[in-house]
Amino acid sequence: AHAQSSVTIYGTLDAGIAKISGTTAQITKRDNNKLGFRGVEDLGNGLKALFQLEVRFEPDTGTVEAGSRPLFQGQSRVGLQGGFGTIRLGRGLTAYQEASVAFEPWNGLPTVSPSSTGGSIGPGFQPDLHVAGYTSDPLGPAGNSRNRFSNAVFYNSPLFNGFQVNLTVGAKEANGNAALIGRGTALAPQYPANSVPSAAPYSLSATYNNGRFGALAAYERNAVETDVWAVAASYKPTADLKLMASYQKQDQSHTMAANAETKAWVLGANYTVGAGKVLLGYGQKTPDAMPHTKQASVGYEHSLSPRTYVYADLSNRKSPPVANQTILRSYTFYGVGVHHNF
Amino acid sequence: AHAQSSVTIYGTLDAGIAKISGTTAQITKRDNNKLGFRGVEDLGNGLKALFQLEVRFEPDTGTVEAGSRPLFQGQSRVGLQGGFGTIRLGRGLTAYQEASVAFEPWNGLPTVSPSSTGGSIGPGFQPDLHVAGYTSDPLGPAGNSRNRFSNAVFYNSPLFNGFQVNLTVGAKEANGNAALIGRGTALAPQYPANSVPSAAPYSLSATYNNGRFGALAAYERNAVETDVWAVAASYKPTADLKLMASYQKQDQSHTMAANAETKAWVLGANYTVGAGKVLLGYGQKTPDAMPHTKQASVGYEHSLSPRTYVYADLSNRKSPPVANQTILRSYTFYGVGVHHNF
Amino acid sequence: AHAQSSVTIYGTLDAGIAKISGTTAQITKRDNNKLGFRGVEDLGNGLKALFQLEVRFEPDTGTVEAGSRPLFQGQSRVGLQGGFGTIRLGRGLTAYQEASVAFEPWNGLPTVSPSSTGGSIGPGFQPDLHVAGYTSDPLGPAGNSRNRFSNAVFYNSPLFNGFQVNLTVGAKEANGNAALIGRGTALAPQYPANSVPSAAPYSLSATYNNGRFGALAAYERNAVETDVWAVAASYKPTADLKLMASYQKQDQSHTMAANAETKAWVLGANYTVGAGKVLLGYGQKTPDAMPHTKQASVGYEHSLSPRTYVYADLSNRKSPPVANQTILRSYTFYGVGVHHNF
C-alpha cells in the first residue's frame, strides 16, 4: 500500500583471508557485514519520522552475526526528528559507543574472533582497548554484542556551532542474561539469570567538530553499574591527515572486589594519498595489578570506487591469553580482503 | 534476472513506553512490527500470481517476534487469483482470525507480554477476549503465535454484492509441538510431542460489508479439535463513527474433561475527529465455572501523516493471574508511542 | 547513503501439495524458496565488484530452510570480476555442485523431506543419486545443507570458446559439526565435535557448452577426505529436446572400513512443447555390497508467464529405508504446485 520509495536498502559485504601467528589461514571479515532497511518521512513543519532496521551477518558462513545475535543486531529503531533533535526507541549503539568510533584509527571495526583458534584479534582497537574493555550490555543474552542497549530511548540534540549532546537511557527490563557471579557466589550470583538491571543503564556523550578539530567527552553506566568515562580528540593538520587520541577509564567496583579499574589509551592516524589510505594505531590497556595489553597496527585501503576498496592489515598484540593471567602472549595478525558498500 | 518492480517492500515500526501497575516502565510495542516483501504478476485473462513474505520482529531488542517465531512469522504465501477468487498455499492468518479484526476496536493489536513482569496485557482485545481465549495452532512449536495455520491452503471467494466466503484448510502434518496432556496423563499425553493433528484443522468465515454495515459469521476447528464460532457486526451511523460488537464461543471438550466452554463478547467504538481517532472498548470472557475476565480500554491516535501517528492508551483488566484460579487480579496498563508505516 | 539501484531483490516462491504412498497429503515445496539481494558495481577498466546474499526458507511454515539453516543459506559471497575471471569469498555452492545441475533433468531441485513421515523423496535426482550420495559439507552444523562450502574462496575462469574451469577451496576452519565416528569409536570419534578439517576441502569442475552439446568433468574432496568424481554430458538434437546423462563415483574409504564406494548414474530428458515442458529421468545408485537404489520420475511444467508455472510430478523410488539395510522399500510420490519467480 506504500510507495517503494519510502524504504532504502543498503549494506556492506566485507570478506577476506586472515592468519594469526601459529594458526592456519581463515576466511573472515574485517568490517561488520550488514543488510539494512531505512526510511525518512517528511511530516511537514520541520518534523520527520525515521526508522532503521539492520541485519548483521557472517559472510563466511551465512549465519546471523556470531551465529547468535538478534536478526536486527545492527539496530532496530523508530522515532521522530525536529527542531528539538532526534528521539528514537528500540535497540542500537549507545551514545558513547556511537560517538567514539570517530577517534579510533580503524573507525570502529570489530575484532575478528576466529571460531577454531585461540586469540580474538583484529587490526582495530574499538571493541577492547578503545573502550578499556568495557561492555555496554552485560545482561544481554549470551553471544550478544558489547556496545548496544536494547529496550532504550535514544536522544541526539541538534548540532549547535559544531556541538552535539547525545543521551541513551535503557529501561530496567530483564533480557535473558546468563548468571553473572560478580561479588556473589556460584550459588548466589550477584546477578542471577534473566536479571533486571540494578540501576537503569544510561550513556551520555558530548561532541564537537569544526571540520579540522574534533573532541569527545563521554560517560556511561551499564546495567550492572560498571561505569566508563572517556575523552578523545582529533586534529587534521592537512585535509589528507587525521591524527587522533583517546583516553578511557572503566570502573567495575560494583561487581569486582579487587583490581576493578582499567585504564586505556589509543593513538592513531589516517593518511589519504590518492586512492590509498594508510591507517596507523597504537594503544595500551592497563587493568589494575595486571600486565599491560599492548597493540600496534598498520593498515592500507585502496579504493577501487567510492563504494569498494581492497585492504591489507598487519597487527601485533601482546595480552594475557586469559583474564587475570599475568603472562603475556604475543599474537601477530595478517589480513587482506575486499570491502563493498551497496 | 527479474525487474526490481516485481517486489514491493513494506513494513511497520511501532515502539513506545508502557507501564503496568506495580511494575517498572518498559520499552515495548503496541502493534506488530513487520518487514514484508510482496508482489503481484498479471498473467493475462484476469489471472494473477501473487506472493507475500512478512518478517515479524521486536523493535526493542531486534529479535524475531517473541525471540522464537519463524523468520516469516507474519505470512509466507504464494498463489493465484482469478475469477474463481484467490487460492494460496503456505502459512498465514486463518480465515476466521483474518476476518475478525475488523470488529475489534484496536483492529487486532497484539497483547503486550512483558518479559520480566507478570501480566500479559495491552489495550486491545483480539488475542484473548475477542476470540474467547481460542488458539488456532495448539500443535505449533513452543513460542509460536496463536492465530495462524502452517501447512495450509487459503481460499477467498470473489466479492459478490459485498459478500465474501473464506476457507482455510491445514494438512495433517506434525509441526514440532511440545506434548499436550489434554485428557491424557503426563506419561501418556493426549497429544505427544510432534503430534500429527487428530483431524485436519480448518477455518471458515463469511463476511458482508456495504460500507455502512458489516457482519461476520465464522467457525474454526483446530488440530486438537477445539472449536470456536463467532458472530460480529459493525455499523457506521456517520462517516466518523464506527460501532462494533462481537460474540464468540470456544469448546475445548475434546481435550478438557470439565469446564470446557468459554464465551466472550466485546463492544467497541472508533471515533475520528480531525487528525485524531478515539478508540473505546469493553469486553468479558467467561470460562465455565471460572471468574469473568473483564477488560475496559480507551485509546487515542493522532496522525502526523497518512503513514505515521502517535498514540496513548489506558486499559484495565481483571482476570485470574493463572489459569483455573478463582481469584481475580486487576492490572492497569498505560502506554504511549509512535507508529510508522513504510 | 547509496543509490537504491545498487541492489536487486529477487526470489522464488514454490509451494504445492504432495503425497507419498502410505502417508497423508502435505503442503510442501518442489523447488528451493529464496529471497535474495544482489548487486554488481562497474569499477571501470573491465573490473566489477559483485555480491549476493540469499535467504532460503520453507513456504509452508515460514521458517528458515529446514528450520535450522543459516539465514543466508543460499549464498553469501562478495568478490571481484575482470579479465582474470571471477573470484569470490564466503559461502556458496561448490564448483562441482553448481555445475552439475545442468545435467540433471529436474535442474537440481531439492528432495522433499517430510517432517512427519518416513521417506525423503521428491521427483529430482540431484541431492542423492546425481551426486552418488556425496555430501560437500560433512563437518557443517547439524541440519546444514549438503552441497555448499562455508569459509571458502570461489574462482570461475572466463569462458574460452565454451570452456570454463571453476575451483572452490575451503579453509581448514571448524564450523560446529556434531561428532562423526568414522573409523573411530563412539568414545574416540574420527572427527570429534567442532573438528578442523583433516585436509582443506576443494572442488574442481571443467565445463563445455556450445549451445547444442554440453559436458562436465569434476572432482571434489570434502573436509573428511571423502572424494567424488563425475562426468556428464547433454545433447540437444532439436531446440525443444535436451538429453542428458551423468556418471559419478564417491569414495568414503577415509572414514569407512568397508563398502566405501558408491557409483551412480542418471539419464534424463526435457522436452518443451508450447507452454509445456515434460521432464523424464531414471537413475541408479550402487553402494558397495548394498542393494541398488532405483528411481524413475516424470514431471510436467505449464508456464503461465515467463515468471510463473504450475507443475505436476510422479516418481517412484526403491531404496533401503535406512542406511546399510539390505531390504528395499518402494515409495511413490505425487505432487502438484505453483512456482513463482520475482
**What would the pLDDT profile of C139-165 be if each residue is shown by its tens digit?**
999 888 889 999 999 999 999 999 999
pLDDT at A119 over 90: no
- Nearest by CB to B41, from C16, C17, C305: name it: C305
Q: Is A49's CB within 8 Å of B338's CB?
A: yes
Q: Which residue of C has its CA nearest to B79?
A: C338
- Nearest by CB to B115, from A89, A91, A174: name it: A174
- Mean pLDDT of the C99-124 span: 75
Q: Is A1's CB within 8 Å of B17's CB?
A: no
So what's the pLDDT on residue C111? 66
Task: Determine phi and psi for B258, rounding to 5 degrees.
Answer: -145, 160
Residue closest to A207 by CA, chosen among A247, A157, A257: A157
So what's the pLDDT on residue C327? 81
B313 to B18, B30, B121, B335: CA distances (angstroms) = 9, 9, 12, 5
Q: Between C204 and A329, whose confidence is greater?
A: C204
Q: Does B49 touch chain A (CB under 8 A)?
A: no
So what's the pLDDT on residue C142? 84
CA torsion angle A125 A130 A132 A133 (round to 10): -50
Mean pLDDT of chain C, nearest integer = 92
- Nearest by CB to B89, from C27, C55, C342: name it: C27
So what's the pLDDT on residue B1? 35
Q: What is the pLDDT of residues A208-260, one digit of tens each?
A: 999 999 999 999 999 999 999 999 999 999 999 999 999 999 999 999 999 99
User: For residue A250, is it left (φ>0), alpha (ψ between -120 and 50) or beta?
Assistant: beta
- Nearest by CB to A78, from B63, B115, B340: name it: B340
- Mean pLDDT of the C26-33 span: 92
Quote the ipTM score: 0.94
Give the C-alpha separation, B209 to B159, whole Å: 10
So what's the pLDDT on residue C4? 46
pLDDT at C171 over 80: yes
- Nearest by CB to B70, from C35, C61, C114: name it: C61
Q: Does A27 touch chain C (CB under 8 A)?
A: yes
**Chain A residues touching C90 at Cβ < 8 A:** 13, 15, 27, 59-60, 62
**Chain A residues touching C76 at Cβ < 8 A:** 13, 33, 57-62
**Chain B residues touching A152 at Cβ < 8 A:** 27, 60
pLDDT at A312 over 90: yes
Give chain A's largest Cα–Cα span.
62
So what's the pLDDT on residue B142? 84
CB contact residues (below 8 A), chain B span 176-195, against chain C: 176, 194
Percent of chain A with pLDDT over 70: 94
Q: What is the pLDDT of residues A163-219, one digit of tens each?
A: 999 999 999 999 999 999 999 999 999 999 999 999 999 999 999 999 999 999 999
- The helix or strand, by DSSP H or E, that contains position B22, with its residue range, turns out to be none
Residue-wise pLDDT tens for chain B (342 aa)?
Answer: 333 468 999 999 999 999 988 888 999 999 999 999 999 999 999 999 999 999 999 999 999 998 889 999 999 999 999 999 999 999 999 999 999 999 999 999 876 654 433 446 788 998 889 999 999 999 999 888 889 999 999 999 999 999 999 999 999 999 999 999 999 999 999 999 999 999 999 999 999 999 999 999 999 999 999 999 999 999 999 999 999 999 999 999 999 999 999 999 999 999 999 999 999 999 999 998 888 899 999 999 999 999 999 999 999 998 877 666 778 888 899 999 999 999
Residue closest to A133 by CA, chosen among A120, A151, A116: A120
Q: Does C217 touch chain B (CB under 8 A)?
A: no
pTM of the shown model:
0.95
Q: What is the pLDDT of residues A58-84, one digit of tens each?
A: 999 999 998 889 999 999 999 999 999
Q: Does C26 touch chain B (CB under 8 A)?
A: yes
Mean pLDDT of chain A, nearest integer = 92
- Contact predicate B129/B116, CB 8 Å: no
B311 forms beta bridges with: B301, B337
Partners of chain B (3+ Cβ pairs below 8 A)? A, C
So what's the pLDDT on residue A115? 39
Q: Hey, what's the cell of B146?
A: 496463536
Give the C-alpha separation, B59 to B79, whole Å: 30
pLDDT at A112 over 80: no
- Mean pLDDT of the C50-64 span: 96
**Chain C residues touching B70 at Cβ < 8 A:** 61-64
Q: Which residue of B has its CA nearest to A148?
A: B61
How close A80 comes to chain C (CA, Å)? 19
User: For residue C115, is it left (φ>0), alpha (ψ between -120 and 50) or beta?
Assistant: alpha
Give the C-alpha separation, B173 to A27, whole Å: 40
**Chain C residues touching B173 at Cβ < 8 A:** 24, 26-27, 60, 114-116
Q: Which residue of C has its CA nearest to A19?
A: C171
How close B31 comes to chain A (CA, Å)? 13
A55 to A73, B57, B270, B339: CA distances (angstroms) = 6, 12, 37, 21
CB contact residues (below 8 A), chain A span 113-142, against chain C: 114-116
So what's the pLDDT on residue C113? 55
- Nearest by CB to C47, from A25, A115, A304: name it: A304
How close B9 comes to chain A (CA, Å)? 6
So what's the pLDDT on residue B4? 45
- Nearest by CB to B308, from A49, A89, A175: name it: A49
- In this structure, is the dihedral angle defined by the CA atoms of residues A99, A101, A104 and A110, taken in order, positive or negative? positive
Give the C-alpha separation, B249 to A134, whole Å: 55
Give the C-alpha separation, A39 to A54, whole Å: 12
Partners of chain C (3+ Cβ pairs below 8 A)? A, B
- Mean pLDDT of the A306-335 span: 87
So what's the pLDDT on residue B111? 66
pLDDT bucket at C112, cuts 50 / 70 / 90:
low
So what's the pLDDT on residue A116? 37
So what's the pLDDT on residue C329? 84
**Chain C residues touching A17 at Cβ < 8 A:** 89, 153, 171
Q: Which residue of C has its CA nearest to B46?
A: C304
Q: Does C196 touch chain A (CB under 8 A)?
A: yes
Give the C-alpha separation, B81 to C304, whole Å: 12
How close B172 comes to chain C (CA, Å)? 7
Q: Find which of B19, B31, B116, B339 to mutate to test the A interface (most A CBs within 10 Å of its CB).
A: B116
Q: Hey, what's the cell of A331?
A: 599474537
- Nearest by CB to B51, from C13, C17, C71: name it: C13
B154 forms beta bridges with: B88, B168
Q: Does A45 touch chain B (CB under 8 A)?
A: no
- In this structure, is the dihedral angle defined by the CA atoms of residues C141, C143, C149 and C150, taken in order, positive or negative? negative
How close B53 comes to chain C (CA, Å)? 8
pLDDT bucket at A113, cuts 50 / 70 / 90:
low
Which residue type, as a one-letter code, is found at position B2? H
Q: Does A34 touch chain B (CB under 8 A)?
A: no
Contacts of B316 (CB under 8 A, 6+ apart): B295, B296, B297, B330, B331, B332, B333
Q: Find which of C12, C30, C63 to mutate to test the B interface (most B CBs within 10 Å of its CB).
A: C63
CB contacts < 8 A, A to B, total 131
Q: Is C151's CB within 8 Å of A25's CB?
A: no
Q: Is B171's CB within 8 Å of C27's CB?
A: yes
- Give residue for cell 581448514: C172
What sections of chain B are H helices per DSSP? 95-100
Q: Does A71 touch chain C (CB under 8 A)?
A: yes
SS3 A246: strand
Partners of chain A (3+ Cβ pairs below 8 A)? B, C
Q: Is A171's CB within 8 Å of B27's CB?
A: yes
So what's the pLDDT on residue B5? 60
Q: What is the pLDDT of residues C69-80, one digit of tens each?
A: 999 999 999 999
Q: Does C35 touch chain A (CB under 8 A)?
A: no
Q: How many CB atoms lie within 10 A of CB C44?
A: 8
Q: Is A116's CB within 8 Å of C90's CB?
A: no
Give the C-alpha separation, A280 to A272, whole Å: 12
CB contact residues (below 8 A), chain A span 76-95, against chain B: 76-80, 89-91
Q: Does B305 touch chain A (CB under 8 A)?
A: yes
Q: Is B35's CB within 8 Å of A53's CB?
A: yes
3-state secondary structure string across chain C:
CCCHHHCEEEEEEEEEEEEECCCCCEEECCCCEEEEEEEEEEEECCEEEEEEEEEEECCCCCCEHHHCCCCCCCEEEEEEEECCEEEEEEEEECHHHHHHHHHCCCCCCCCCCCCCCCCCCCCCCCCCHHHCCCCCCCCCCCCCCCCEEEEEEEEECCCECCEEEEEEEECCCCCCCCCECCCCCCCCCCECCCCCCCCCCEEEEEEEECCCEEEEEEEEECCCCCEEEEEEEEEEEECCEEEEEEEEEEECCCCCCCCCEEEEEEEEEEEEECCEEEEEEEEEEEECCCCCEEEEEEEEEEEEECCEEEEEEEEEEEECCCCCCCCCEEEEEEEEEEEEEC
Q: Is A171's CB within 8 Å of B9's CB?
A: no
C152 to A30, A60, B94, C93, C169: CA distances (angstroms) = 16, 7, 43, 10, 5
CB contacts < 8 A, B to C, total 130
